[in-house]
Amino acid sequence: MPASRALLAAVLLLAACGRARPERLAGRPEGLRRPYGLAQDDARLYWTDRGVEGDPASGAIRSVAKTGGPVATLVTGVSPWAYFCCVADGRVYWTEYDTGRVRRVAVRGGPAETWEGGRESPGQITARAGVVTWVEYGGNAVRRRGTGARAAALVARAEGPQAVAVDEEAVYWTETGDPPVLRRRGLAGGPVTTLAEVKPECWLVPAGDALAWTETRGPVRACPRRGGPIRVLGAIAHSGGYAAAAGGFLFWSEEADGVLRRVPLAGGRAETLWARLPHPCVMVADRDAVYWTDAAAAAVFRYPLRDGAGRPPRD
């Protein structure tokens, strides 16, 4: 058995708790190389498959149904530095850190379009209500653009913006300055509010009435979206982690330790759902499952939150 297949087999034999097990939706047999960024709509998952340096045809945007099935390649020629993506208006949008472009392709596939060019190291990207928002690491800006409008700087003088999230009222972002902070600004403009001091390399998740976030070698925390008392939900031992919320829980992965964890958003004990994942990356969630990419396993995984009868799996 090839080493990669043996590694995946070992992962799937390691139970952490409950009856649910990770399910591989796509992997090397379907052509995956280095999947990283992940986004979803109601029925499908979309991800950046970053490819390798010197092989411009190896990078791609790919898609699979949330329930599994054939993997679709929407477009090739994606940068090896395309870490993040989102879905809006029937298109997948992604940033390319090295080329300074924000690109897009139809969810059914087709030619890629350079939607924004000349940007300064664009990174994390998200979408809500047909508006795409992203950070520019080199430009120290948070920009947003409707799918038919021109880009505008919602925040023009950020100090090393890194993570970003948007809800119906505001944009939230982290800055890697001294000290690193989590900030908020209304979508209509107005003053910038500092919600918390943080450790860098965060991932932000609007969840219910709260904003939750992970930190590098630090706590998983949450606070009211307009600011207020900060609650500690859990802890990350050695690395940064990506996160998603669904069903009253916050889920997160830890890249270095390779674990999938969850904690009730209302408070309670954090638990490990699965351990010894090779290298979990960006994750999303819905009422049925948690999904994530794994760069080391060259795979996209699904962890079911409901059984065949629509019930949560029992411990």
Question: Which numeric CATH code is attached to 3-304?
Answer: 2.120.10.30
Q: How far apart are CA 117 and CA 213, in angstroms?
A: 30
Residue-wise pLDDT tens digits, 202-239: 899 999 899 999 998 889 999 999 999 999 999 988 88
Q: Which two tokens stand for residue 208?
A: 């219910």
Specify the pLDDT at position 313. 47
Specify the pLDDT at position 233. 94
**Cis status, amide bond into 280, omega within 30 of 0:** no
Burial of 266 (0-12, 13-18, 19+ CB in 10 A): exposed
Question: Dihedral of CA 16/19/20/24: which sign?
Answer: positive
Specify the pLDDT at position 148. 74
Q: Which two tokens stand for residue 269?
A: 């004990």
| Residue 306 DSSP SS3 | coil
| Residue 77 DSSP SS3 | coil
Residue-wise pLDDT tens digits, 149-167: 788 999 999 999 999 999 9
What are the Cα distances from residue 54, in Å, to 58, 77, 174, 309? Answer: 9, 11, 33, 48
Specify the pLDDT at position 198. 94
121: left (phi over 0), alpha (psi -120 to 50) or beta: left
Q: How far apart are CA 158 and CA 121, in angstroms?
A: 14
Specify the pLDDT at position 307. 59
> Where exactly are the structural domains of the chain?
3-304
Specify the pLDDT at position 256. 84
Specify the pLDDT at position 15. 39
Per-residue pLDDT of the chain (315 residues; tens, 9 = 90+): 444 444 444 344 333 344 589 999 999 999 999 999 999 999 999 999 998 888 877 899 999 999 999 999 999 999 999 999 999 999 999 999 999 999 999 999 999 999 999 999 999 999 999 999 999 999 999 999 997 778 899 999 999 999 999 999 999 999 999 999 999 999 999 999 999 999 888 899 999 899 999 998 889 999 999 999 999 999 988 887 899 999 999 999 988 889 999 999 998 999 999 998 999 999 999 999 999 999 999 999 999 997 544 455 444
In this structure, are residues 254 and 269 in contact, taking their beta carbons and an 8 Å threshold? no
Specify the pLDDT at position 126. 98
Length of the chain: 315
